């Protein structure tokens, strides 16, 4: 087994991350990602999490939310179009995960972001987009559970993707 900090392995895992970045609206099942990285399916998810701190599926969710947020902010596209373009299976799933991650509804974010837009034109847009990416350090389901449970400490549980 290759050590987790082997630069050649990390470089190949980065390729899978880059591919999700380039096409986050596409479906990225583990077998597809593992193939991009030249890693076995059994080892891919763990290796990816060790390298980048989040499981691959959760990383993909943050990218989709980032893209959707940008479209909400920068375009007048209807939310249903944005959901379709950014790779969600349904409006319901999108709305729920969007709220769980960002703490507000897509419509509320659109209003707030458009009101706040100013002064960021000097930063390359591609870099700015990454900087405002949601920082999803826990599973969406866990975040949902914590917010439902108020301040009580959540049960220790197997981490969901």
Partner 1 sequence: MSQGVETVGLYVRDQEEALAFYVDKVGFKKHTDVKNGDFRWLTVQHPEQPSFQLGLFKPGPPMIDAATAQSLNAIVAKGAMPPLVLSVADCRAAYAAMKSKGVEFTQEPMDRFGTVDAGFRDPSGNGWKMIQARK
Q: Which residues bind partner 1 (CB under 8 A)?
A: 5-8, 10-11, 13-15, 17-18, 21-22, 51-52, 124-127
CB-CB contact of 1 with 9 (8 Å) = no
Q: Which is nearer to partner 1, 127 or 148 (CB)?
A: 127
* Rounded CA separation 11/48 (Å): 11
Q: Which is nearer to partner 1, 40 or 125 (CB)?
A: 125
Q: CB of 126: closest distance to partner 1 in angstroms?
A: 6
Q: Nearest distance from residue 7's CB to partner 1, in Å? A: 4
CB-side exposure of 9: number of CA atoms within 13 Å? Answer: 18
Smallest separation, CB 9 to partner 1 (Å): 8
- CA 35 – CA 40 distance, rounded (Å): 8
- 80: enclosing H helix or E strand: helix 79-85
For partner 1, the closer of residues 74 and 142 by Cβ is 74
CA 84 to chain centre: 16
Nearer to partner 1 among residue 52 and residue 84 (C-beta)? 52
Note whether 48 and 55 are within 8 A (CB): yes
Q: How far is the CB of 61 from partner 1 (least distance, A)?
A: 19
């Amino acid at each position: 087994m290759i050590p987790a900090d082997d630069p050649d392995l990390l470089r190949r895992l980065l390729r899978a991350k880059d591919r999700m970045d380039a096409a986050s609206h596409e479906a990225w099942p583990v077998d597809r990602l593992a193939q991009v990285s030249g890693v076995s399916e059994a080892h891919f998810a763990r290796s990816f999490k060790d390298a980048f701190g989040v499981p691959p599926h959760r990383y993909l969710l943050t990218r989709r939310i980032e893209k959707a947020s940008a479209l909400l902010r920068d375009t007048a596209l209807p939310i249903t179009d944005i959901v379709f373009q950014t790779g969600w299976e349904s409006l319901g799933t999108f709305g729920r995960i969007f709220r769980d991650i960002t703490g507000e509804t897509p419509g509320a974010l659109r209003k707030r972001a458009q009101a706040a837009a100013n002064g960021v034109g000097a930063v390359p847009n591609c870099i700015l987009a990454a900087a405002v990416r949601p920082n999803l350090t826990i599973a969406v389901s866990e975040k949902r559970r914590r917010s439902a449970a108020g301040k009580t400490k959540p049960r220790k549980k197997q981490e969901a993707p």
